[in-house]
Amino acid sequence: MGRVDTRTDLAGELFTAVGRFRRQVRRSGGRPVIGTGLPESQAELLRLVGRQPDISVRQAATELGLAANTASTLVSRLSADGLLVRTADPNDRRVGRLRLTESAQRIADASRAARRAALASVLDRLDTDQIDRLADGLAVLADVTRLLREEDA
């Protein structure tokens, strides 16, 4: 990416680069990913639960930046579709815990492993300077994400 002249240009380039990166990583795994064919909000929830089994509905809503009732609606839909299981927390029955169904978890695990392997292979081809710049960029991206969350609060 070349030099950008304005913050607006940078914002546009950031959306483009992150979007392309996400799509390419998904394609590079070579297998269908969990949530394919679903609305993005449902697919994101499935991927989150796949990474964090037993996450609470409230934690999932917070992580995804969703209102609690929106998350609850997504959970109900995905449960009805046989992809997600909601159980009561054994220590506090008011808290709903989420897990993928066994078959959905297997698909998610295999897909994640394939994507990580594809990305690791490419990262191995970068030189030390590129790795350092990437790490610095990730730190800035984490800061931008935090600032956006603070603005939403």
Is 66 domain-assigned?
yes
- In a domain, residue 90? The reply is yes
Its sign, for the CA torsion 41, 45, 51, 56, is: positive
Residue 86 lies in a domain: yes
CB 83 within 8 A of CB 67: no
Domain region containing 73: 36-152
pLDDT tens, position by position, 92-112:
999 999 999 998 888 778 878
Residue 29 lies in a domain: no
Look up the CATH number of the domain holding residue 129.
1.10.10.10
Q: Is residue 27 part of a domain?
A: no
- Tally the domains of the chain: 1
pLDDT tens-digit map of 53-65: 999 999 999 999 8
